[in-house]
Amino acid sequence: MARRLISPCQGSGLLNAGFLGVFSSHHMIHLLCFSSLFLPPNSIPCLYQYHRLPLSSSHRSSQLKNCYLPNLRKEVSHWTRPATPSLSLYSARLASKRTTCSVATEPPPSTTEEPEMDLPKEIFLKEYKKPDYLFDSVNLEFQLGEDKTIVTSKIAVSPGTEGTSSPLTLHGHDLKLLSIKVNGKDLKSEDYMVDSRHLTVSRPPGGTFNLEIVTEIYPQLNTSLEGLYKSTGNFCTQCEAEGFRKITYFQDRPDVMATYTCRIEADKTLYPVLLSNGNLIEQGDLQGGKHYALWEDPFKKPSYLFALVAGQLDCREDSFTTCSGRKVTLRIWTPGQDLAKTAHAMYSLKAAMKWDEEVFGLEYDLDLFNIVVVPDFNMGAMENKSLNIFQSRLVLASPETATDGDYAAILGVVGHEYFHNWTGNRVTCRDWFQLTLKEGLTVFRDQEFSSDLGCRTVKRIADVSKLRTYQFPQDAGPMAHPIRPHSYIKMDNFYTVTVYEKGAEVVRMYKTMFGASGFRKGMDLYFQRHDGQAVTCEDFYAAMCDANNTQLPNFLQWYSQAGTPTVKVSSSYDASSQTFSLKFSQEVPPTPGQPVKEPMFIPIAVGLVDSTGKDMPLTSIYSDGMLQSLTSDGQPVFTTVLQFNKKEEEFIFNNIPEKPVPSLLRGYSAPVRLDSDLTESDLFFLLANDSDEFNRWEAGQVLSRKLMLSLVADFQQQKTLALNPKFVDGLRSILRNTSLDKEFIAKAITLPGQGEIMDMMPVADPDAVHAVRTFIKKELALQLKDDLLSTVTNNRSSEAYTFNHDSMARRALKNTCLAYLASLNEPDTTELAFIEYKSATNMTEQFAALAALSQNPGQVRDDTLLDFYNKWQHDYLVVSKWFALQATSDIPGNVANVQKLLGHPAFDMRNPNKVYSLIGGFCGSPVNFHAKDGSGYKFLGEVVLQLDKINPQVASRMVSAFSRWRRYDESRQALAKAQLEMIVSANGLSENVYEIASKSLAA
């Protein structure tokens, strides 16, 4: 989807590196927007070869036509589990399991026969087949009711292949079939068959024909938030990836594209606003206090882009004039009380429309664009053609209630969903394995958009930090998969940071190789060739290469191989020949199902820095037996991109008059782990002098990581901890450097997260890493106290809140310094933080002060948290920040506090945003989630089973926190394993949770 995953605390301006994210900023932006959770903002969905269920002769009766349980609450398949858990994904143990379903009001009658369910079937990319039938047009009619909704679909069907005589198989889930007609005639019971996942027409007519199906569904009981459901009294849809099959029987796959009309009938008082895709072509009143609206979408689309909204909503209206002079009406719909908070989202939409025209020449193609805001949404947002649907936190903002992080997330996600109009809607995916074709590409586009409207270096640092914090661990865990997965059980589980964020890095490598103009030529050719089509990743690669008349050897390995490549670099200088050599080697580690890897195509941007701190001119390079000139228009270059695509390779720079310090992987030109022979002195030199600001930051991070790992070893050996004075001096010089961007300084003085350090250890030790990071933070605060205090003072402002880079940078630096000072837990620094909290005039500064005070347990913390809640208890988005702040806390024994918050009147297990904030946030505190006594694991295990009965998608994201349990000591492994075994043994487990938990156990 164009749903970005965003991490649970991202919007609050917090980033806890301990939580392993499985999804992406765009489902939870399309997440959590956290992606597993969750991705910081910048989030964030073939022929599905679904398993066929064996039917006994007694099941082949017409009774199967009405197999839907009217009071069904859970929306996925479930299996009864035996007591003994299995570690194998394919254990035959499940072969004889029987389905059970939980219901909203009462258990199923004891006499109800439970049909047998096959082992959950894995769907493979290699099994893709073109559809046997095509849908040319789809006419939908919805009769929305308080107890049930009637859906009528009228489909014009044509054979996919001339003369086909295959059965027509439609997907369907939790539907009650009322009637089915072909060419206006009711089908006899022997002419079709219904099971729990399909409706199959045995002998369709030859040639084209009309199919009419009427189903009954129950949106008010749909807690999965897929298909059509009710949220705070309004009807809403979410169809990506496979939600449309919960609305009506259909070929629910992205390569079946059709034009749609949608007629909606509903009570006019309860649902005065009726919206769907495309253009409103007719509306009017009906008898009985009802009314209707008829919508028509002129562009062919797959079913996952269908959308419907009905409810009591008000709108902010504006307009945008396209580059060709067309006026587009823009509307953002939300409950009336929230309308004032939509101004920034409207600004973001107009900015995105203008940017896409200027940078990619892409103009919006309809005369109306709608955004609808809903509080209950599994991901961040969804790019339905002309009717985007967003979770509230990614639209609603005011200075008093939203942080700079929220504002930045809204800008990026609104841009992301709008950009999908071309990269996802006009050109879509052939099958769900190609998801990164639209998501990776669109994440790259929204990253570039946010960079152009803000600070490019700071944005790049944030994106790379997210990649390392969430995607690298996923690449090294049991759920490792390429950006184009080879297989899946539930597609919902593959809206991941790998598909989104790593996918964006792969797209960025095209731009690195071809430059901005070459990348634009490739995009132009891609749209010229494939507008209106459902295509593959190879089609995008071909357009890029053909437009630039070149090939990229091994590049497609990025789409098929999982794992993060490790690149080792050694350097040498020959003064006599004035040559400088860089020797590279690469290794891609084994991952599940891929023990042996081929070399990858890795573009490495390199500059050489002389002893004065200046970039050296680069004129020529020798590699692979060839001498290549590096000049551009006769002038030397100062950064060049090396094409490293072998297991080992050497590059020799000529005309280098002195030994340089190499600046490697500038701008982070490839998503790899870099292991170089740079010395500590080299790193301090680059930190002070590198012209590539990303690599200046990176030099500081490498130094920080080495320092932290060294101190962790000392802590484990019970040695006295001491901070390297040179490290302190380096941060002091950055803090005092007035020529640097203030947000860059804030990033540069921020230590790597606990999760990033644990990821570098053979056996992760959360207690040691937490102790060391706490020690360094307090020691820096103590030694830099005067500089930190003056920075806080010098960056106060009494001006009204503005969302621009300079103001955000000022607040970021001040708040970072305040957090350092408050960590000392001294009376003067605590008083300073409390004054900042009480005097703050915007949520960014108030919440940062609250977070600073919350680091230290005690009465001040408790009183300030209570004061904050009392002030904001009527704003559910601010309350979610309050939950997240407490959940992510590293204070000792926090699991008890989080358990207590589950019973708080403001918490609702049915609301994904609150789950991500509280439960997902708790998983972001390594020292508490991985508590030695197993209390954190036990808490999550119990919650996952509760969640699974309500919303399996959200539950599967939570259980992902267990996925790397083998990274820890034997005691923690045993405790985590016990919870995973308990989960996979539970009766009625969803496919979503089963896939993640069983693969984690089998790793």
SS3 per residue for 258-317: EEEEEEEEEECCCCCEEEECCEEEEEEECHHHEEEEEEEEEEEECHHHCCEEEECCEEEE
Query: Rounded to whole angstroms, how far apart are CA atoms 219 and 391?
Result: 18
How do the domains of the chain map onto residue ranges? 313-401, 427-559, 566-678, 679-824, 874-1002
Residue 673 is inside which H or E element, if any?
strand 673-676
389 near 382, Cβ under 8 Å?
yes
Peptide bond into 402 cis (omega under 30): no
Q: Please tell me which residue, 104 or 179, carries the higher pLDDT value.
A: 179
pLDDT at 1003: 87
Average pLDDT over residues 668-688: 98
Alpha helices in 677-724 (DSSP H): 680-689, 693-716
Query: Rounded to whole angstroms, how far apart are CA atoms 677 and 52?
Result: 56
Average pLDDT over residues 656-684: 98
pLDDT tops 60 at residue 544: yes
Helix (H), strand (E) counts: the chain:
29, 35
Please report the sign of the dihedral spanned by the C-alpha atoms of residue 335, residue 338, residue 341, residue 343.
positive
Q: Burial code of 68-100, b = ≥16 C-beta within 10 A, e = fewer?
A: bbeebbbbbbbbbbeeebbeebebebbeebeeb
Architecture of domain 313-401: 2-Layer Sandwich (3.30)
**Range from 78-87, 201-210, 216-225 carrying the lowest mean pLDDT:** 78-87
DSSP letter assigned to residue 173: S
Cβ contacts of 481 within 8 Å, gap of 6 or more: 494, 496, 498, 562, 591
Other C-beta atoms closer than 10 Å to the C-beta of 913 total 31
Q: To 10 degrees, what angle do helices 404-419 and 805-822 make?
A: 130
Q: Alpha carbon 122 to chain centroid distance?
A: 23
For 337-394, write each residue's pLDDT tens digit. Answer: 999 999 999 999 999 999 999 999 999 999 999 999 999 999 999 999 999 999 999 9
- 571 phi/psi in degrees, rounded to 5: -125, 155
Q: To 10 degrees, what angle do helices 435-453 and 404-419 make?
A: 130
Q: Which CATH topology does 874-1002 take? A: Zincin-like fold (1.25.50)
Query: Rounded to whole angstroms, how far apart are CA atoms 453 and 356?
Result: 13
pLDDT at 883: 98
Q: Alpha carbon 959 to chain centroid distance?
A: 16
Which of 450, 344, 458 is closest to 400 using CA atoms? 344
Q: Please tell me which residue, 27 or 423, carries the higher pLDDT value.
A: 423
Query: Rounded to whole angstroms, how far apart are CA atoms 857 and 836?
Result: 19
5 near 382, Cβ under 8 Å?
no
pLDDT tops 80 at residue 62: no
pLDDT at 122: 95
Which of 477, 255, 448, 479 is closest to 359 using CA atoms? 448
Side-chain-side CA neighbours of 787 within 13 Å: the count stands at: 20
How many Å from the N-terminal Cα to the C-terminal Cα in the chain? 28
The superfamily CATH assigns to domain 566-678 is Aminopeptidase N, middle-beta domain (2.60.40.1840)
Average pLDDT over residues 961-969: 98
938 near 977, Cβ under 8 Å?
no
**Amino acid in the structure at residue 619:** T
Query: Rounded to whole angstroms, how far apart are CA atoms 492 and 45?
Result: 7
pLDDT at 757: 97
**Range from 46-55, 248-257, 491-500, 870-879 carrying the lowest mean pLDDT:** 46-55
Query: Rounded to whole angstroms, how far apart are CA atoms 107 and 850?
Result: 46
300 near 365, Cβ under 8 Å?
no
Per the listing, tokens 């891929």 go with 594
pLDDT tops 50 at residue 24: no
Q: Please tell me which residue, 178 or 118, carries the higher pLDDT value.
A: 178
Residue 777 is inside which H or E element, if any?
helix 766-783
267 near 284, Cβ under 8 Å?
no
pLDDT at 125: 98
Please report the sign of the dihedral spanned by the C-alpha atoms of residue 511, residue 517, residue 518, residue 519.
positive
Query: Rounded to whole angstroms, how far apart are CA atoms 482 and 552?
Result: 18
Using DSSP's 3-state secondary structure scheme, residue 962 falls into: helix
Which residue of the set 240, 265, 383, 417 is catalytic? 417
| Secondary structure in 3-state letters for 811-857 | HHHHHHHHHHHHCCCCHHHHHHHHHHHHHCCCHHHHHHHHHHHCCCC
10 near 467, Cβ under 8 Å?
no
Average pLDDT over residues 936-962: 98
Share of the chain above pLDDT 90, in %: 87
Query: Rounded to whole angstroms, how far apart are CA atoms 82 and 198?
Result: 27
**Range from 118-132, 497-511, 808-822 carrying the lowest mean pLDDT:** 118-132
Per the listing, tokens 């369907």 go with 172
pLDDT tops 90 at residue 756: yes
For 805-843, write each residue's pLDDT tens digit. Answer: 999 999 999 999 999 999 999 999 999 999 999 999 999
Which of 578, 572, 753, 770 is closest to 677 using CA atoms? 572
Average pLDDT over residues 294-319: 98
Give yes or no on whether 679-824 and 874-1002 have one common fold.
Answer: yes
The superfamily CATH assigns to domain 679-824 is Peptidase M1, alanyl aminopeptidase, C-terminal domain (1.25.50.10)
For 557-606, write each residue's pLDDT tens digit. Answer: 999 999 999 999 999 999 999 999 999 999 999 999 999 999 999 999 99
The conformational region for residue 737 under phi > 0 = left, psi -120 to 50 = alpha, else beta, is beta
Reading the block at residue 42, the tokens are 């910048």
Answer yes or no: 417 catalytic: yes
pLDDT tops 60 at residue 73: no
**β-strand partners of 186:** 181
Beta strands in 397-531 (DSSP E): 428-429, 487-488
pLDDT tops 50 at residue 4: no
42 near 69, Cβ under 8 Å?
no
Cβ contacts of 508 within 8 Å, gap of 6 or more: 444, 447
Query: Using 50, 70 and 90 to split pLDDT, how confident is the model at 8?
Result: very low
558 near 600, Cβ under 8 Å?
yes
Per the listing, tokens 């000591």 go with 969
**Percentages helix, strand, coil for the chain, rounded to the nearest 5?**
40, 20, 40
Strands 428-429 and 534-535 turn out to be parallel
Beta strands in 90-132 (DSSP E): 123-124
Q: To 10 degrees, what angle do helices 343-360 and 404-419 make?
A: 50
Reading the block at residue 233, the tokens are 């009294």
Q: Which CATH topology does 427-559 take? A: Neutral Protease; domain 2 (1.10.390)
Average pLDDT over residues 656-683: 98
Query: Using 50, 70 and 90 to split pLDDT, how confident is the model at 1?
Result: low
